[in-house]
Amino acid sequence: MTRSTAVAVSFGDLARLGPIVAVVAHPDDESFGLGAVLAALAAAGAQIQVLCFTHGEASTLGASTLGACAELGLVRRDELLAAADALGVSRVRLADYPDGGLGDVSPDLLDAEIEADLGDAALLVVFEPGGVTGHADHRAATAAGKRVAARHGLPVLEWGVAPDIASKLNAELGTSFAPLDGVDVVVDRSAQLAAIGCHVSQARDNPVLARRLQLQGTSERIRLTEPGERA
Ligand SMILES: [Zn+2]
């Protein structure tokens, strides 16, 4: 498996398709994961909405200092709103499904949440189907996004980690990053870094995030799947 250097995707072309809906599981996924891609699309003129399925109340990061889970959920909601501003995202909707339990929620319910926000969206943005880190919530969010996109004949931009970077992270840090075959695109990380800084409860002392960003440099791995394509 070789690392692709081809740039088959232009953020300008994607932005011109029309409005974009990004579907994620947790507050911070839009920044730690999709941040550079969403910021590039926003800078190219795209109108972007983020639909986040949970308040992220089950995170172990930040929980010890903030006490109750519900309180952490509220803190993370505010962090998400600030981060969205930094990325240039125009609208955020935060649903209230259980953090850590998204995989047990009826797919019909998740699909209906996306349908409610779809409007005249021309593109969905999600984590790659393995959830990037294998997290069941991530996989459920992506599966819902892909089902709805298929139903409406919309393309999907999947974000992930290139195979060489996934291997390095897994070897160094014992993580379970799934490799994504796709293309590398060059990104400016300044807006993403500002957005990451808004997630105060999650971004401090996050060695996996720091190392991943270091390995990625100015490159992001994405895959664009066209309507009807099974991947
Ligand atoms: Zn997440």
Note the pTM of the prediction, 2 decimals.
0.92
pLDDT band at 68 (very low <50, low <70, confident <90, very high): low
Residue percentage of the chain with pLDDT more than 70: 90
**How much is the pLDDT for 22?**
98
Locus of tokens 């105060």: 200
**How much is the pLDDT for 8?**
62
Distance in Å, CA 120 to ligand 1 centroid: 26
What value does the mean pLDDT take over residues 94-113?
96
**How much is the pLDDT for 80?**
96
* Model confidence at 42: pLDDT above 60: yes
* Model confidence at 148: pLDDT above 50: yes
228's torsion region: left (phi>0), alpha (psi -120 to 50) or beta?
left
What value does the mean pLDDT take over residues 131-148?
97
What value does the mean pLDDT take over residues 147-176?
97
Distance in Å, CA 25 to ligand 1 centroid: 6
**How much is the pLDDT for 229?**
66
Average pLDDT, the chain: 91
**How much is the pLDDT for 212?**
98
Distance in Å, CA 56 to ligand 1 centroid: 8
What value does the mean pLDDT take over residues 77-84?
95
The top-level CATH class assigned to 11-224 is alpha beta
**How much is the pLDDT for 72?**
86
Distance in Å, CA 73 to ligand 1 centroid: 13
Distance in Å, CA 29 to ligand 1 centroid: 5
**How much is the pLDDT for 4?**
44
Between 86 and 5, the more confident residue is 86
**How much is the pLDDT for 230?**
56
Between 96 and 59, the more confident residue is 96
| Through-space distance between the first and last CA atoms of the chain, rounded to whole angstroms | 17
* Model confidence at 150: pLDDT above 60: yes
